[in-house]
A and B are shown apart, each in its own frame.
Chain A
Amino acid sequence: MDFRNRDVVSIKDFSKSEMDYILRYAKKMIPYARGERHADVMHGKILASLFFEPSTRTRLSFECAMNRLGGRVIGFADPGATSQRKGESLADTIRMADAYSDIIVIRHPQEGSARLAAEFAASPILNAGDGAGRHPTQCLLDMFTIVMEKKRIKGNRIVLLGDLKYGRTVHSLAYALSLFGAELVFVSPESLRMPKEVIEECREFGVDPVSTSNLERAIRDADVLYVTRIQKERFPDAAEYNRVVGTYRIDADLLRHAREDLIIMHPLPRVTEIDPEVDKTPHAVYFKQAFNGVPVRMALLSLIAGGRKI
């Protein structure tokens, strides 16, 4: 399996066995991610971290991963400070960053931006979110969390909850989970149902997802509850957003219906979707999930640009 110098724009850039390999490799990275062991596979390498829109969690996770591997980070986190504000094209910014670094992480508000960046950079591009588009490292860390908590993805009953229409990262997740043989239940308000094309894609892998708006019922036999954020900026109009926001709230009362070993995931930051009292229950794994971003990104960085393997 060869990951050298590869771009990671979409989760579909990887085959199933490649994803499997990354997840297994990420597991090896855990003691390094915790700082219990030291690695220097990125020694002498520079990561350009280009955040054209803010995403503190993703940025810190990538930068932490690079530092833990002994590499260095340059870049920007404040879109106001970039030359794009002065009308420079993304292509030109990427050419510049390419000259200064060995690997580039990009977060950009426009869909397709990471694919465009990959066309203009000789160094590998890692997509850290392109607007409402794709976010493959989030997808991998979500899969990794399920594997860590439930041993495998296959056979688990996974509820995806929230805005299943506009949030495209949840489409990629549904794709990847069906590829690995999960049972899927899609819970959303009527107006935010999972698009037909995504359901068809799941069916191609022999998964037949159930769509419903009844969370209380869906949670009863679920192994995993994946809560998404309903993001205002993804909605075409504010009225539609106001109608659906706050439809679902995960609290102790709801969890009375859940199995003891149900795990609750959330890509964070959360707003009101999960009551803070849920945090102390054994169901809550979203903080572990956030940490899991580090070993997964370490695995990717070292497979793609590392000097040698751990």
Chain B
Amino acid sequence: MKELKIQPIRNGTVIDHITAGQAVKVLHILGIPGSTSSSIVSVAMNVRSRIGRKDIVKVENRELDRHEVDKIALIAPKATINIIRNYEVVEKHRVELPDEIVGIVRCSNPTCISNSPQEPVKSKFLVISKDPPRIKCYYCEREPEDIAERII
């Protein structure tokens, strides 16, 4: 059974240990599948593992850039990134939040200037703690309480 759910891929990226239920948001943050991408993407949700349930995402024939993927630490701080070449894991690391998050989270403060549609700026947050993830708005300096709910 297990083999069916999580088939190995030949080349590409496997994002493992995603907090259960967050796989779709992870794809959204990564912009996968993009309009220009023809990669096969498979998602497994609520997979049983030693440490409880988790989600897994596999992207074939595409090696995701580490810094790009690190953003998902916002909602899946325990996720690991595995780069696969010829069925072998050639690189593996746990995601780590970058110092800045741009254009991914909307500020929860309704009077924040970053929420004004006429301003030519993207939302921007500074990371104040990596695990557990805590961020504050670069503009109004407020901290959103539920980050997952604020993802654009």
Using CB atoms and an 8 Å cutoff, list the residues of chain A in contact with chain B. 10, 87-91, 108-113, 115-116, 119, 130-134, 197
- Contact indicator B138/A115 (Cβ below 8 Å): yes
A-B contact count (CB 8 A): 56
Q: Is the CB of A133 within 8 A of B140?
A: yes
- Are the C-beta atoms of B111 and A131 separated by less than 8 Å? yes
Q: How far is the CA of A89 from the CA of B117 in the complex (A)?
A: 9
Q: Is the CB of B120 within 8 A of A111?
A: no
Identify 19 residue pairs between A and B in the complex whose beta-carbon atoms are under 8 Å apart, listed by A's number. Answer: A10-B141, A89-B120, A90-B116, A90-B119, A91-B119, A91-B120, A110-B116, A111-B109, A111-B113, A111-B139, A111-B140, A112-B107, A112-B137, A112-B139, A115-B113, A116-B121, A130-B113, A133-B140, A133-B141
Q: Chain B at the A interface: mostly helix, strand, loop or mixed?
A: loop
A116 touches B141 (CB 8 A): no
Q: How many residues of B contact A (CB 8 A)?
A: 18
Residue picked from B111, B114, B120, B140, most chain A C-beta under 10 Å: B140
Q: Told that A88-B118, A112-B114, A112-B140 touch, could you supply 16 new A-B pairs with CB distance under 8 A?
A: A89-B116, A89-B120, A90-B116, A90-B119, A91-B119, A109-B111, A110-B113, A111-B112, A111-B113, A112-B107, A112-B112, A112-B139, A115-B138, A116-B119, A116-B139, A130-B140
Complex contacts, B113 vs chain A, CB 8 Å: 90, 108, 110-113, 115-116, 130
0 or 1 for each of B114-152: is its CB under 8 Å from A? (1 = yes): 101011110000000000000001111111000000000
A87 CB contacts on chain B under 8 angstroms: 118
What are the residues of chain A within 8 A of B142 when measuring CB–CB?
A: 111
Q: Name the residue on B nearest A134 (C-beta).
A: B141
